[in-house]
Amino acid sequence: MTLKHWSPVALVSIALAASTPVKAADFYEGKTINMIVGSDVGGGFDIFARLFSRHLGRFIPGSPSIVVQNMPGAGSAKAAGYVYSAAAKDGTVIGALNPGGLLAPLFEGRQMGYEAPKLQYLASADTTARVCFTMKNAKVKSFADAQKEELVVGAGAVGSSSFDYAYMHKNLNGARFKIVAGYKGMADILLALERGEVEAVCGYDWSGLKAAKPNVIRDGGFNFLLQVPVQPVAELDAMGVAKAEAFAANADDKAALDLVAGQQFVGRPYAVAPDVPADRVAILRKAFADTMKDADFLAEVERLKLNVTPADGEDVQKIMAKMYSAPKHIVQRAKDAIRP
């Protein structure tokens, strides 16, 4: 049948259907969302991403399935670059990114294939503290000991929290750390610690450690040397864990430490590419917010002994912009602090 045999009403209907965009509320029907985790399997970021994958779809219209894919590399810079440039720009790819990787362009002072402030942030699941610790039987049991005696510290790649925080404590807090870098991720570093290959780990998210090693913490199996909180953590304070800011030598060093630690305000950020349509970003932001208030989600959080302190996407967006506009001399001091 040729077009001349169609009625005018039918032709108008076809034209309208072709020109009407898919409603955001209908877009996710039958779709799969790929959640790209910028770290290896078994670490805190992976645990949280898989937790969200089990609940988030219920709060997205159309109830899409969510598949977790791990893309470790350069402190999640590889995953951030993929989400920013190569991945689909339709809201079906979400990055679960390490904030250390998001700050790498700022501290490296070079292009890395993505502009972190331009990513569209959906939420952060945790404004977390980060800790530095040894095993119970280690020779170094406090940060005062670490300032006197050399300590072998395991670390991942440049830009990972384990790398950045180990050097930060060495350069801003006076720790005598011998840093052995190149581990694949926090799970591997923790295994190396338990095997005695290294003597300490730094930059581990407190909530992630509680999820990975609840029984070891309960039984007093770690010596906590130092904490870097963004707000008071009752458990760490009750154990008398020293705060890193107390060991900063001057105001600039403290400001540099605060800049590095600022990434913890967006401790577990989720983001999509800059070109994802605004209506889909709004749907995903609402879905994350609703998930983190859901009773079933929170029951699993409790069972896994995790900590969820949500930040909404708009606030994360503002914090990232603020960090990238920090004074140049403080950025330089922070850059010097987290590198060999």
Q: What is the tens place of the pLDDT at every residue in 221-245? A: 999 999 999 888 999 999 999 999 9
Per-residue pLDDT at 191 exceeds 70? yes
Higher local confidence (pLDDT), 280 or 45 = 280
What's the pLDDT score for residue 185? 86
pTM over the 0.75 mark: no
How far, in Å, CA of 32 to CA of 123, rounded?
Answer: 20
Q: Which residues are CB-neighbours of 337 under 8 A, at least 6 positions away?
A: 167, 168, 171, 172, 253, 256, 257, 260
Q: How confident is the model at residue 19 (pLDDT cuts 50, 70, 90)?
A: very low
Query: Is the pLDDT at 282 greater than 50, yes or no?
Result: yes
On the question of pLDDT at 13 being above 90, the answer is no
Identity of the amino acid at 319: I
If you average pLDDT over every residue of the chain, what do you get? 90
What's the average model confidence in pLDDT over 102-129?
Answer: 88
In DSSP terms, 178 is beta-bridged to: 152
| Contacts of 211 by beta carbon, 8 Å cutoff, 6+ apart | 44, 47, 304, 305, 306
Residue 16 pLDDT > 50, yes or no?
no
- Specify the range with the lowest mean pLDDT, choosing from 3-17, 40-54, 147-161, 212-226: 3-17
Residue 6 has pLDDT above 60, yes or no: no
Confidence of residue 67 (pLDDT cuts 50, 70, 90): very high
- The CATH topology of domain 11-127+265-326 is D-Maltodextrin-Binding Protein; domain 2 (3.40.190)
3-state secondary structure of 182: coil
Q: What is the location of CATH 3.40.190.150 in the chain?
A: 11-127+265-326
Output 138 or 157, whichever has higher pLDDT. Answer: 138
Contact 100, 75 (CB under 8 A): yes
Range 130-263 classified under CATH 3.40.190.10: yes
Distances (CA, A) of 168 to 189, 256, 269: 18, 9, 22
Question: What pLDDT does residue 68 have?
Answer: 98
4 pLDDT more than 70: no
pLDDT (mean) for 3-19? 45
**Whether the predicted pLDDT of 123 surpasses 70:** yes
- pLDDT for res 22: 58
Say what the pLDDT of residue 17 is. 42
> Residue 120 belongs to what H/E stretch?
strand 120-124
> What confidence tens digit (pLDDT) does each residue in 32-49 have?
999 999 998 988 889 999
Determine the pLDDT at residue 287.
98
Residue 13 tokens, joined: 């209907």
Count how many Cα atoms sit within 13 Å of the Cα of residue 217 in the half-sphere of its side chain: 16
* Helix (H) or strand (E) segment spanning residue 153: strand 151-154
pLDDT for position 14: 44
Q: Which of 166, 52, 36 is nearest to 100 (CA)?
A: 166
CA–CA gap between residue 47 and residue 309 (Å, rounded): 16
Question: Looking at the predicted structure, is the pLDDT value of residue 329 above 90?
Answer: yes
Asked whether 44 and 211 are in contact (CB, 8 A), the reply is yes
- Check pLDDT > 70 for residue 126: yes
Contact 153, 127 (CB under 8 A): no
| pLDDT tops 50 at residue 2 | no
**Per-residue pLDDT at 24:** 73
Q: Mean per-residue pLDDT for 302-322?
A: 90
Lookup result for tokens 């965009």? 21
